[in-house]
Amino acid sequence: MFGSLAASAFTPRTATAATSLLLTGGCINGWMFRIIEAWKADGVAATAGLFAISPFELIVMAVALRLLWNAQSNPDATSLTMPALAFAGLVLWPSSLAAWVAIVLFGFWLALKYKGSVRAAALLFAGLGACALWSTMVEPLVSNVLLPLDASAAASLLGWVRADVIRTGNIVSVDGHSIVVLAGCSSFHALPLALLSWLALRLAWDRPVDARSGWIAVSLALALVAGNVVRLAVMGWSPSAYAAAHGAMGGMLFDGLTTVAVLAAAILPVPRHD
């Protein structure tokens, strides 16, 4: 009875609208802690930094919504009712963790049930949730393994031109100057989101996404890791180099190069084998 009432109240298009609102609301709930903290720290000026929300996150969400609305077959209202209600309960719960977990679960449920653009959109939303859980929950648990890898790579790079480089764990020291590689500076911190953005842009621009395009994703990942290691090495060179690379201008340059790399990789065609 409940399913029949839902079916009469919701057409396929309104079911799509409800799905879009639920997933978007889940993302906003997931970002709420960042938004509040950014507002406390910077006030109105936080708008310039998008309240600590990555532009890549907004790109992925926008592409996912576009795919959801452009789908040839919309979610079915009857079968969507109970999962949507359960998801809505987690969305309304004042917890970023609950919101991201709900997005991952609801996204995978949609991906298993539907095909085409709906599946692609659902997987992008699930990917957003997974990236958030990676940076907030999983990465801290494995940081004792990942951070020394970055420090070791930066120390090795510095060691090619200097003999006074010492690395201890995630600390790189050069002639009395030391840097500590933290999670936010890790090559693996933003890498999942950058790759997800690459995937979203390829879908948005109707570029092939298959096994043959895997080399592009691998090349992009290697380029982003290499770029971050170079930045860490520059920061470890001297206090003045640290100030330049870690300051506002250095951050803008690094973010700009990262964006260019993602955009270029998203545009690249898949090689043809005749």
pLDDT in tens, the chain (274 residues): 334 434 445 567 777 888 898 899 999 999 999 999 999 998 998 888 889 899 999 999 999 999 998 876 666 655 666 677 677 777 777 889 999 999 999 999 889 888 889 999 999 999 999 999 999 999 999 999 999 999 999 999 999 999 999 999 999 999 999 999 999 999 999 999 999 999 999 999 988 888 888 999 999 999 999 999 999 999 999 999 999 999 989 989 999 999 999 999 999 887 665 5
Name residue, tokens 């010492």. Answer: 166
In a domain, 159, yes or no: yes
In a domain, 201, yes or no: yes
The DSSP result for 2-42, as a single string, is: HHHHHHHH--HHHHHHHHHHHHHHHHHHHHHHHHHHHHHHH
Contact call for residues 59 and 201 (beta carbons, < 8 A): yes
State how many domains the chain has: 1
In a domain, 40, yes or no: yes
In a domain, 273, yes or no: no
Count other C-beta atoms under 10 Å from residue 129's C-beta: 23
In a domain, 261, yes or no: yes
In a domain, 274, yes or no: no
In a domain, 147, yes or no: yes
Look up the pTM and report it. Answer: 0.90
Residue ranges making up the domain that contains 157: 2-267
In a domain, 210, yes or no: yes
* Contacts of residue 145, Cβ cutoff 8 Å, sequence gap at least 6: none
Q: What tokens does 36 get?
A: 């509040």
